[in-house]
Amino acid sequence: MVIVFIGLLVILNSLAGWIFSYTIKPFPSPFPTQPLFGNSYVSSHELGSIAITLVVLVLLFVFFRFTPLGLAMRAAAQNPVSSRLVGIRVGWMLALGWGLAGAIGAIAGIMVAPTVFLEPNMMAGILLYAFAAALLGGIDSPGGAVLGGFIVGVLENVVGSFLGTELKLTVALVLIVGVLVVRPNGLFGKVHVTRV
């Protein structure tokens, strides 16, 4: 799955660059330019991004925990054979999952584009941070991935303030390698043991 994801990412980025060119363009923020509440330390775009992220997380939690469609999608992802036996259309659930991932990716792109500017490869570093956060928290633990994201963000900024901004991306790579060597399931991931 990871190899297919990387292949699709390269293909889609190349197509986007071919169609729209690789020129870096500014993207307006959906939030006002003046800081909220007279706060000069955190911009209104950063506060708005945090609020949108929290709203999306709550909506996803409610969707996957309490709605029949969300439960069907979870069942299709965890055990496709049993899901088919109880009448769940696994192909449709997987297609809906890809669509939901695309919608969340679009929201993430809108929140990130004003700070990193708009170009086909703008999400490369962010995807690396997201992958490090998911590995650190646990791939199968959504709450762990959120906590992993906070840890990666804090570590990245602390290390960047001491060693310089050039090495900030290295923090994510070191975290990925360290987690895979020390604790491959992450902080909150479950160890799956199968009897042979």
DSSP assignment string, 142-162 = HHHHHHHHHHHHHHHHHHHHH
Q: Which domain holds residue 59?
A: 23-119
Q: Which of 119, 146, 175 delimits the end of a domain?
A: 119
Burial group, residue 155, by CB count within 10 angstroms (0-12, 13-18, 19+) = middle
Residue 43: predicted pLDDT:
82
Q: Is the pLDDT of residue 116 over 70?
A: yes
Q: Give yes or no: residues 83 and 131 share one domain.
A: no
Q: Is the pLDDT of residue 39 over 70?
A: no
Enter the pTM of the model.
Answer: 0.76
pLDDT band at residue 179, thresholds of 50, 70 and 90? Answer: confident
Residue 173: predicted pLDDT:
86
Q: Is the pLDDT of residue 38 over 80?
A: no
pLDDT band at residue 194, thresholds of 50, 70 and 90? Answer: low
Stretch 160-179: mean pLDDT: 81
Give the residue among 107, 114, 126 at the shortest CA–CA distance from 45.
114
Residues 6+ apart with CB under 8 A from 162: none
What is the rounded CA–CA span in Å between residue 39 and residue 51?
Answer: 16
Give domain status of residue 64, yes or no.
yes
Q: Is the pLDDT of residue 35 over 90?
A: no
The residue type found at 97 is G
Give domain status of residue 5, yes or no.
no
Q: What are phi and psi of 60, to 5 degrees?
A: -65, -40
Q: What's the number of domains the chain is made of?
A: 2
Task: Say how many Å lie between the first and final Cα of the chain, rounded.
Answer: 24
The residue type found at 153 is G
What is the tens place of the pLDDT at every residue in 73-102?
Answer: 999 988 899 999 999 999 999 999 989 998
Q: Give yes or no: residues 97 and 138 share one domain.
A: no
Residue 107: predicted pLDDT:
92
What is the rounded CA–CA span in Å between residue 115 and residue 184?
Answer: 32
Q: What are phi and psi of 118, to 5 degrees?
A: -95, 120
